[in-house]
Structures are given as structure tokens and as C-alpha cells.
Amino acid sequence: MEAMQDSMAEIQVCEIAIEKSENADVKKFAQAMIDEHGRMGRELEKLAADKGLEVPRQVRPEQELTVDELSSLSGRDFEQRWIQYNIDVHERDTKVFRHYAQDEPDRDIATLAKKHGDALGKHLKAAHDLGKKLAKP
């Protein structure tokens, strides 16, 4: 459930990035995250439905606070906070997905966790690379 909420929150913050940033690298990364997390969310939603699990329809309150915070920022302040959010979330989610890929007894969940854990690892690397670019004056 948290993974689905994380995908929804990622899409929201990346939509803000596309609106607020004038940096082509930020826009490109944000659009890639919207596309990939949208696909990921749909796959997670299908698996949850197949398993009879309730599908969340909104982000967690702390994610809503982050969306509000990012909405209030602009320029370099926005980009720095936004990329740090992306790094933090992708670090956490990569660990969680890799844990489920190894330790989850349900093969369907473990398989999806492996697939998306690998993708999230790539997202994390891309976020770190973009963060280094954005850190330069």
C-alpha cells in the first residue's frame, strides 16, 4: 500500500517540477518518473486487486505536507529540496522492494518487488546524478 502511495506522491511532486523548473534536466527526469511511477502504480494496483487488497486513493498526510512544501518553493530552493526528496524516497523504496524481493513468501509479490526494486535502484542513481548537476553553481 505504501508503495502505491509513494508512486502517487512521486507523480505529484514531479508534476510540480515540470511546472516550476526551467531546467531541462529536471523536466526530463520528472517526466521519466511520472511515466515510470505511473506504470509501476498500475502494476501494483492490479496485483493488489488480484490479492483482494484495498487500493489507496490518496497519499499519506506526510506526503501531502511535502507536496505543499514543494509547491511553496521556487527556483534553486525548489530544485534542491525536490531532488533531495527524490533521493530520500528512492533510497527507502529501493531497500523495501529489495527486502520483499528476497523475503516475501508470495511469489507474485516477490517477483514484482524484484522488478520494481531494480527499477527504483536505477531511479536512485539517476536522482543522485541529477543532484550532483544541480549542486553546481
All structural domains of the chain, each given as residue ranges with its CATH number in brackets, are 2-135 (1.20.1260.10)
The pLDDT of residue 11 is 96
State the Cα–Cα distance between residues 111 and 12, nearest whole angstrom: 27
Asked if residues 92 and 23 have their Cβ atoms less than 8 Å apart, the reply is no
Residue 137 has pLDDT above 80, yes or no: no
State the Cα–Cα distance between residues 17 and 25, nearest whole angstrom: 11
Give the pLDDT confidence of 92-125 residue by residue, as tens digits.
999 999 999 999 999 999 999 999 999 999 999 9
- Each as own residue / partner, the long-range contacts of residues 12-18 (CB below 8 Å, 24 or more positions apart, any chain) are 12/59, 12/63, 12/67, 13/66, 13/67, 13/70, 13/82, 13/85, 13/86, 16/67, 16/70, 16/71, 16/82, 17/78, 17/79, 17/82
Residue 3 has pLDDT above 90, yes or no: no
Residue 73 has pLDDT above 90, yes or no: yes
Cell of 76: 534553486
The pLDDT > 90 percentage for the chain reads 91
Nearest to 2, CA basis, from 35, 33, 34, 48? 48
Give the pLDDT confidence of 37-58 residue by residue, as tens digits.
999 999 999 999 999 998 899 9
